[in-house]
Copies of this chain bind each other. A is one copy, B any other.
């Protein structure tokens, strides 16, 4: 275990050179923004480094820097919401010859390209701990303040945890991942002291039961559970009304618990480096469509996830055996839903279970199925009938269902994939996403075989 952790540490620590470059870029840019603001008479605004660079917990190779411009409350939240703040920051970027674009997630912000880094410049309102945020990002500076002392010396433990979660596909709070945000990983390290501490505790987590409350805002876990209805609850120490783990899905939480169990059982570097998806296959229905223009990624991921889950339900109800469904988008060109199934076609006949023979509805059932392919017949005390299916093909079933879905989905190509070879004809990034969806997690291969492996079936 120590050996594996020492090796892993070398993988997750940025180089001296990277430290230097990211530090320089951040400092320079903060200087330029500060100058620009001061020259325009906005001395009351603070330009600050936030996020994983500020906390010293970014992963090697990351090109992301977060800079927050903290605006005093007396300027009013309209200063941000009207776009005035963004316009001001864009002016400063332009006069410094820095390319920029604007983004609107829950909150407008500016993205700069600077010395090869992508720098998010985010305006926010100054608030105090415990105070209600005025915009979605006002908490970030408080997070940095909260972590400052508590995280010191444990930065690389956070990096181990982030890398571990990234390999598990559960690092990131965006809806496409439904996993653990950077801040949440930091809170976990603060709470449990170390990477291994978090893993040991995760082994006894239980979805919808586990509550962490590092700020001790609630009298008991059961009080918190009544307020937050999420698989995992981690009360934000700087805001008692917020679950910092709200994005974590049951699957992400369960994946982390399983990984924690397996890693402590059988430590391996496989848990820290992203491997190639293993070759695996099942018959698949693929819906592929162009990424809908001008839609923010979270909206599209949400649509895809709802579509994938509702199509799974519809197909199950029609008699298809759905193994698993998933969704993916590169957030630029392609959006896709995949449904892995036992079979892409149903048998031509279908058993209808009717009412009990003495139920009044039995007459209606008999009328309806009097020309059945087989029966109506009685088994036990109940009527049954075997009827021809109207829809046997999964593509046809999905086509009918799509007409009820958002416009972007209605235009989807419906593709049946019968063999692994057919995957190769897809666009490379889509092919890779599907292979990842089908494959087993690479860290599973680390599981040592049991000495007395049994050969019996299931």
Chain A interface residues toward B at CB < 8 A? 203-207, 250-251, 253-255, 257-258, 261-262, 265, 280-283, 321, 323-324, 340, 342-343, 347, 349-352, 357-358, 362-364, 366-368, 370, 372-384, 386-387, 390, 438-441, 444-445, 447, 449-450, 453-454, 457-458
Contact = CB atoms under 8 A, between A and B. Distances in A.
Contacts of A351: 321, 323, 342
Contact of A390 (B368, B372, B373, B457): B457
Given A340-B374, A458-B352, A257 B367 contact: no
A374 B438 contact: yes
B282 A357 contact: no
B374 A257 contact: no
Contacts of A453: 367
A68 to B, nearest CB: 36
A15 B10 CA distance: 104
Contacts of A204: 358
Nearest to A358: B257
Given A367-B453, A445-B370, A378 B281 contact: no
A316 to B, nearest CB: 12
Given A347-B342, A381-B254, A449 B374 contact: no
Contacts of A363: 261-262, 265, 447
Nearest to A387: B458
Given A257-B358, A261-B363, A458-B368, A282 B321 contact: no
B440 A280 contact: no
Contacts of A383: 258
The 3 A-B pairs at the shortest CB distance, nearest first, are namely A254-B357, A343-B347, A282-B374
B444 A376 contact: yes
Contact of A250 (B250, B381, B441, B458): B381
A457 B317 CA distance: 13
A205 B358 contact: yes
Contact of A377 (B207, B253, B440, B445): B440
A207 B450 CA distance: 52
A53 B50 CA distance: 103
B282 A386 contact: yes
Contacts of A381: 207, 250-251, 253-254
A444 B366 contact: yes
B440 A370 contact: yes
B261 A362 contact: yes
A388 to B, nearest CB: 10
B282 A373 contact: yes
Contacts of A372: 280, 440
Nearest to A448: B367
Nearest to A203: B358
Nearest to A351: B323
29 contacts: A207-B381, A250-B380, A251-B379, A254-B381, A254-B382, A255-B378, A257-B358, A258-B357, A280-B372, A280-B373, A282-B373, A283-B347, A321-B351, A323-B351, A323-B374, A324-B384, A340-B374, A343-B347, A366-B447, A367-B453, A370-B444, A370-B447, A374-B438, A375-B440, A376-B440, A376-B444, A377-B440, A377-B441, A387-B458
